[in-house]
Amino acid sequence: MGETLTGGPARLSAQEREALAAYAARASWPAGFAIYQRGTAADGVFVVTRGRVVLRSRVRAGRGFVPWIATPGESFGSEGLAPNAKYATDARADDESETLFLSATRFRAFVREQPQHALVLVAQLMAERAALLDKLRELTTLSVEQRMVSTLLRMANNATFTREDGKIVLCTARYRLLCELVGATRESVSLVLSRLTGEGLVERKGSTLIIAPPTQLAERVDVTSDNELLIATFADRAEQTFQ
């Protein structure tokens, strides 16, 4: 569960991905490659096997909102399983990535011929839908500061964003991604980070931000029970690392 940025929905195992690969088309994407764009015809579903794929909704020029980052074992583009579907977001490889693509036709064959594996895939899609609904709840009920801490907790579950000591490292590109994940302007996020800097929870080194481990961040604001679970997961992993 250490790679997910979505709060921990069940992910497809290597065995399940192998079963899916017999029906799907495999593709590799260089970092920054646009896999599809919002509004184009959609057919099927993608599953990430390596790397990360960022889904982004453009709010206006120069601004966007990121509802989902698909990591290995997670899916994206599942709107393509609906009739006459169109993609709801842009999808771009965040780093060098690899995916499996299951067209709607191949999905139906997969369900007929491999029902036990197909049920696992459907369960994965439902878990991701639940995670998106929970994020919608956060957007409508939590403050910018609470949403930012919630997002940082999820980022701390991904080893590519943290150092060995558990601190989160944000370069300029990752800072922009943080703003889009939080669903707030850079000015609003910057204001919160300035307050945290004054409290010793954020250190600025040039254009890079070094943020305290999530257990310290969680003490700063009131977080949800789901995030308390993320803290426990992170703490358990950190304890095993330093033993």
| Per-residue pLDDT reduced to its tens digit, 176-202 | 889 999 988 888 999 988 888 888 889
Look at residue 221 in the predicted model and tell me its pLDDT.
57
Give the model's confidence band at 240: pLDDT under 50 very low, under 70 low, under 90 confident, else very high.
very low
3-state secondary structure of 226: helix
Query: Average of pLDDT values for 16-43?
Result: 96
Residues 175, 153, 66, 23, Cα dihedral to 10°? 120
How far apart (Å, rounded) are the C-alpha atoms in residues 174 and 156?
13
Give the model's confidence band at 164: pLDDT under 50 very low, under 70 low, under 90 confident, else very high.
confident
Distances 204 to 106, 172, 200, 201, 215 between C-alpha atoms, Å: 50, 12, 10, 10, 20
38-54 pLDDT, tens per residue?
A: 999 999 999 999 999 99
Look at residue 109 in the predicted model and tell me its pLDDT.
97
Structure tokens at 89: 């977001």
Q: Which residues lie across from 230 on neighbouring strands?
A: none
Give the model's confidence band at 93: pLDDT under 50 very low, under 70 low, under 90 confident, else very high.
very high
- Tell me which DSSP letter residue 11 carries: -
Look at residue 158 in the predicted model and tell me its pLDDT.
67
